[in-house]
């Protein structure tokens, strides 16, 4: 489950997404340079498709075991985020996953419109399907928000059927949203939302409240700080997300009977030049910091090149800190300092490649010093319900088994 939003205005565009996945699923951030492809076939997550003659450079945020990506941007200034949507099905056999469609479009498309057309062509040719769950089976169809500096499109699907609508500003969540007002339809014009929505799974996803949160943010979405605030939104009345799970929060916290957790977040600023990307490289944007990265710069954590385990290690180390916050209360000074640090980085962001590389290195250093000031072992405890504690105990046991000694906080298991 996820939330994606974007705004296009006057040749500038802002894109933001939270990726909500299993709490134990590491999400890595990788930079893939452009290349001329000698191989004829490409192995996606479940199936093989013909490879393109050339691919564009892409920055991807993806679950480590999936070929495709949850979030990404390419050298042409196209950014895409996908969402699981729950339709009346049945869901397809293993084919291209929604994440595969996203990555293929970013590798091949020079504009948001071309990306949408590419995903439609691939969908109609190969279909969508296959288990996309990390530690449990999870099947769904997909929707997408694709954006460049001039255009924003929402593509929603059900099997091989689809609908597209162009917007100046939009947000999507885990629910179909386009009815009879679409611009183009594949499979016949219809009230797409009404015809294809599975009402039960859609309701339990918490997407109604989450989309209301992001839609409220759209009118004021003018800066990276505004986008970060939107991605950090918790549902009204939630006093401490480290003591209560919340599937209805844009910043999703695991702990309830249903629901995942925001495992990665990305904001992209597009103005026709080189994209500027703001990354958490970690779960839970409410306690993460968005660090500036100039697209195409040398990879340094949380960004890695393919085959380098640094991004994965960065995510796991950060996750250990977040697990140590369970059942604790953070002081308001934590959030004030978080915002002040980010503002200093945002203010220093520029188009200069070397300056931006130095800024990312500085941000990572200052982030580490910031977290060291707030040792979870010294924070006040807060009561948690037994079910919340038990749900997290199971995840933490599996987390330790999967990641072993690397999953430590301050050197302590």
The residues annotated as belonging to the active site are: 2
Q: Are strands 141-147 and 12-21 parallel, antiparallel or unpaired?
A: unpaired
CA gap 128, 337 in Å, rounded = 44
Contacts of 28 (CB under 8 A, 6+ apart): 61, 62, 63, 64, 304, 311, 312, 315
> Do 254 and 245 touch, CB atoms closer than 8 A?
yes
Using the structure block, give the residue that is written with the tokens 């707030």. 374
Place of tokens 């997290």: 392
Please state whether beta strands 27-32 and 303-304 pair in parallel, antiparallel, or not at all (unpaired). parallel
Q: What is the DSSP string of 67-100?
A: SS-SEEEETTS-EEEEEEE-BSSPPPSSSB-HHH
C-alpha pair distances (Å), 213 with each of 5, 87, 260, 361, 387:
11, 23, 18, 33, 27
Helix or strand run (H / E) with residue 413: none
CA 52 to chain centre: 26
* Max Cα-Cα span within the chain: 60
> Between 224-231 and 332-348, two packed helices, what is the crossing angle to 10 degrees?
150
Burial label, 209 (beta-carbon count in 10 A; 0-12, 13-18, 19+): middle
With a CB cutoff of 8 Å and minimum separation 6, the contacts of 212 are none
- Residue 326: count other Cβ atoms within 10 Å of its Cβ: 21
């Amino acid at each position: 489950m996820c939330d994606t939003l974007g705004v296009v205005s006057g040749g500038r565009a802002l894109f933001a997404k939270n990726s909500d996945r299993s709490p134990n699923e590491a999400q890595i951030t990788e930079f893939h340079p452009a290349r001329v492809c000698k191989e004829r076939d490409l192995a996606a997550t479940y199936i093989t498709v013909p490879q393109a003659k050339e691919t564009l450079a892409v920055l991807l945020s993806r679950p480590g075991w999936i070929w495709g990506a949850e979030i990404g941007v390419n050298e042409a200034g196209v950014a895409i985020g996908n969402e699981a949507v729950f339709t009346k099905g049945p869901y397809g056999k293993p084919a291209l996953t929604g994440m595969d469609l996203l990555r293929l479009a970013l590798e091949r498309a020079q504009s948001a419109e071309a990306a949408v057309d590419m995903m439609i062509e691939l969908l109609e040719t190969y279909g969508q399907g296959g288990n996309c769950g990390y530690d449990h089976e999870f099947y769904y169809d997909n929707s997408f928000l694709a954006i460049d500096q001039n255009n924003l499109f929402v593509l929603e699907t059900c099997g091989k059927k689809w609908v597209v609508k162009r917007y100046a500003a939009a947000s999507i969540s885990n629910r179909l949203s386009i009815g009879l007002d679409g611009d183009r339809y594949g499979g016949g014009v219809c009230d797409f939302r009404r015809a294809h929505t599975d009402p039960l799974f859609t309701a339990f996803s918490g997407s109604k409240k989450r989309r209301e949160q992001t839609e409220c943010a759209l009118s004021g979405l003018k800066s990276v700080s505004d986008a970060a605030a939107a991605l950090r939104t918790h549902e009204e009345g939630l006093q401490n997300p480290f003591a209560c799970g919340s599937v209805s929060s844009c910043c999703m916290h695991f702990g309830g009977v249903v629901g995942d957790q925001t495992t990665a977040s990305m904001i992209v600023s597009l103005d026709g030049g080189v994209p500027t990307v703001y990354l958490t490289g970690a779960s839970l944007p409410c306690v993460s910091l968005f660090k500036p990265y100039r697209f195409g710069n040398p990879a340094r954590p949380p960004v890695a090149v393919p085959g380098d385990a640094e991004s994965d290690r960065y995510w796991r180390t950060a996750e250990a800190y977040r697990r140590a916050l369970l059942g604790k209360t953070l002081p308001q000074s934590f959030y004030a300092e978080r915002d002040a640090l980010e503002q200093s980085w945002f203010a220093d962001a520029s188009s200069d490649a070397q300056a931006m590389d130095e800024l990312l290195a500085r941000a990572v250093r200052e982030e580490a010093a910031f977290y060291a000031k707030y040792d979870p072992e010294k924070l006040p405890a807060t009561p948690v319900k037994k079910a919340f504690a038990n749900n997290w105990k199971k995840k933490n046991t599996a987390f330790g088994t999967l990641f072993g000694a690397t999953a430590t906080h301050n050197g302590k298991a």
